[in-house]
Structure 1
Amino acid sequence: MGAVGNSCCSSVFGISFEQGVLLPTKKDIVFVCDGSLRSRKTGFSCLASGDDGVGEREGGGGVRMSPVSKNRTEEYNSAMRRMMRNPYEYHHDLGMNYTLITDSLIVGSQPQKPEDIDHLKNEEGVAYILNLQQDKDVEYWGVDLQLIQRRCEELRIRHMRRPARDFDPDSLRRELPAAVSSLEWAISEGKGRAYVHCTAGLGRAPAVAIAYMYWFGNMNLDQAYDMLTSKRPCGPNKRAIRGSTYDLAKKDPWKEPFESLPEFAFCDIADWERNLIRDRVRALRGA
């Protein structure tokens, strides 16, 4: 596919951007840049960050990163490649990006400013935001979380937090049940879409969405994983989801340790196990 205008390309999640337009390979893409909506179809979306001290605009709609921001991005992506062992990258200067997974569920990266909340409310019908970041994640990128939360309150968007440590599958495994509990409640309320995000929307957030689809959507783990990653290229930790499934389904003191189980263990569950997991996850509401 040819360039649109002057070329200003960078790679995000294995997909290329040219001159503020996200170039799709197979599916229609939503891309918002400089505040204007270029396409209005389901799929991947990106919001340019604007003049917030993170990126500086050049002529032609490109974004030139400040040295500090560039260093932080390189640092973050290096850690992600090393600890998650995947090829995907996060580019903070390109703004919030997200993917519509189901009609009620969106997975994406962190909102960076109050205007991102306006966009999610007005363009995507978001009524719930589930934030999986720790405080240090938000501080690292210089995002003012209080402003984000205040705008959510003004727009009557329910903002929820279920922090999990970035790049840590053990932390993700522990926090998944509570996070899925919040997500399941939000979707069951039916008042609007739920937006689940971490920092990049590549690890923790898609893992929560996959676990929700696995436990509450009558899919096995591979089906839920393939469905999400076919729409949003990412690398959530499947073992953490399996481990969390094991923790919820097996409470017997004599159970075999999860670490000794084969790789396919808890990639699927029996109906009685799924019902048990659902009951235990729902019991975490408000915890």
Structure 2
Amino acid sequence: MGTVSNIGFPSVFRVPLDSQQALSKQMKNKSSCCFMVPPNHNYSIRPSPIRCNKLSESGIEENPTTTSTSKRPSKNKDRMEEYNIAMKRMMRNPYEYHHDLGMNYTLITDNLIVGSQPQKPEDIDHLKKEEGVAYILNLQQDKDVEYWGVDLQSIIRRCRELEISHTRRPAKDFDPDSLRNGLPKAVSSLDWAFSEGKGRVYVHCTAGLGRAPAAAIAYLFWFCDMNLNKAYDMLTSKRPCGPNKRAIRGATYDLAKNDPWKEPFENLPEYAFEDIADWERNLIQDRVRSLRGT
């Protein structure tokens, strides 16, 4: 797989309608790729089988796990086209989200699943029955849910009925600064869920291609004795996606920074905080766990 670009992107959720035509001309190439995990590496959490396959050349997932395949009105197709144009431009990656194919997800480790947004209560039934999910971490903002017309309250009610813990840690879509600021609390929720040990954890954003995989990678980096590149390559080899690596590095810097006179993150080289010392990892874990309940 070619390297996923981590260039920053502006904090814009929707592309103005009058600029879509100009943007769409830049989006003709839909190549897909996948990272490979380096051989003979031992991880703290054992990798598990893939749950949904890589993107095809058309940009559509091959054989995705889905709970809804019915046709949607053309209005939803317009939303998808608009969203994918924005994602390709601002995240600098070739991936697409196909809301009309229903929820899709990937089993990253034995107890961690990364995926797209549940769209209806039946998706919660599926996660509980088929995957043993006991915790759901939602990184969407209210406007993300409203954009797709998802009834979030019905999903939350179903979670309560099935005794699934549902937690929200909103971060702004396509905004690396918002992601950087939100990662510590999101990872705190992941760590708490894993410590409870009642079942698998499902972490999602809208498409499961940016914010959610970033939170999962940050957890693997901070709590599972991996450096950032190992954690990033491990996840993206299973679920092709383009989470912003710089946002994860920035959050790592924020948590490990212990001296007020430390060099500003913006002045550091691109490889800074791709790995951390044991004392830094311990400090990060203590600070993340102190965020529980906030």
Q: TM-score range by the shorter chain?
A: 0.7 to 0.9
Give the 5 Å matches for 1:24-43: 29=51
1:95 corresponding residue in structure 2: 102
Task: Evaluate the alpha carbon distance shift between residue 274 and residue 135 of structure 1 in structure 2; reply closer, same or farther with a 3 A threshold.
Answer: same
In the other structure, the counterpart of 1:247 is 254
Q: Distance in 1 between matches of 2:123 and 2:113?
A: 14
Does 2:174 correspond to 1:172? no
1:170 partner amino acid: D
Is the Cα contact below 8 Å between 2:50 and 2:108 reproduced in 1? no
CA distance in 2 between counterparts of 1:101 and 1:44 reads 17
Q: Hey, which of these two has a bigger chunk of strand by percent? A: 1
**Contact 1:106 / 1:196 at 8 angstroms: preserved in 2?**
yes
> Contact (CA 8 Å) 2:52, 2:105: kept in 1 or not?
no
Higher RCO (Cα < 8 Å, 6 or more apart)? 2
Q: Which runs of 4+ in 1 moved over 3 A?
A: 12-15, 27-31
1:227 to 202, 222, 234: 234
Partner of 2:143: 136
- Distance in 2 (alpha carbons) for counterparts of 1:148 and 1:273: 38
* Aligned pairs for 1:105-116 within 5 A: 105-116=112-123
| Partner residue in 2 for 1:34 | none
Q: CA, structure 1 residues 30+207, in 2 after alignment: closer, same or farther (shift >3 Å)?
A: closer
TM-score w.r.t. the length of structure 2 is 0.79
Q: Are residues 28 and 186 of structure 1, via their aligned partners in 2, closer, same or farther at CA, if it must alter by over 3 Å?
A: closer
1:90 and 1:106 map into 2 onto residues whose CA distance is 17
Q: Which residue in 1 is equivalent to 2:204?
A: 197
Name the structure 1 match of 2:21: none
Indicate the SS of the match to 1:46.
Answer: coil
CA distance in 1, matches of 2:120, 2:92: 30
Distance 1:44 1:157, change over 3 A: farther
- Structure 1 residue 207 corresponds to structure 2 residue 226: no
Task: Please report how far the alpha carbon of residue 119 of structure 1 lies from its aligned counterpart in structure 2 after TM superposition.
Answer: 0.3
Q: In structure 2, what is the Cα distance between the partners aligned to 1:123 and 1:229?
A: 23
Where does residue 59 of structure 1 map in the other structure?
none
Which segments of 5 or more consecutive residues in structure 1 lack a partner in the other structure? 1-11, 16-26, 32-42, 57-64
Check the 8 A contact 2:127/2:133 in 1, yes or no: yes
Query: Quick check: 1:44–1:98 contact (8 Å CA) kept in 2?
Result: no
Q: How does 1:118-137 map to 2 (within 5 A)?
A: 118-137=125-144
Alignment length, in residue pairs?
243
Distance 1:224 1:119, change over 3 A: same
Query: 2: distance between equivalents of 1:176 and 1:45?
Result: 27
1:60 is matched with none
| CA distance in 1: counterparts of 2:77 and 2:240, whole angstroms | 23
Note the C-alpha offset of 1:277: 0.1
Q: How far apart, in 2, do the equivalents of 1:246 and 1:174 lie?
A: 11
Alignment partner, residue 23 of structure 1: none
Q: Secondary structure at the match of 1:166?
A: coil
Q: Summarize deviations over 1:51-84 as a string: whole Å, max 9, x none.
A: xxxx52xxxxxxxx42100110000000100110
3-state DSSP of counterpart to 2:135: strand
CA contact (8 A) 1:44 1:100 kept: no
The CA distance in 2 between the partners of 1:126 and 1:231, in whole Å, is 19
Please state how far the C-alpha of 1:252 moved relative to its aligned partner: 1.9
RMSD (Å), alpha carbons = 2.0
Matching of residue 47 in structure 1 with residue 47 in structure 2: no
SS of 2:155's equivalent in the other structure is helix
Unaligned runs of 5+ in 2: 1-29, 34-48, 54-61
Please report how far the alpha carbon of residue 49 of structure 1 lies from its aligned counterpart in structure 2 after TM superposition.
2.1
Letter in 2 for 1:89: E
SS in 1 for 2:243: coil
Distance 2:122 2:238 in 1: 25
Change in CA separation of 1:180 and 1:217 when aligned onto 2, cut-off 3 Å: same
Q: Deviations over 1:19-66 (max 9, x none)?
A: xxxxxxxx86559xxxxxxxxxxx98421425xxxx52xxxxxxxx42
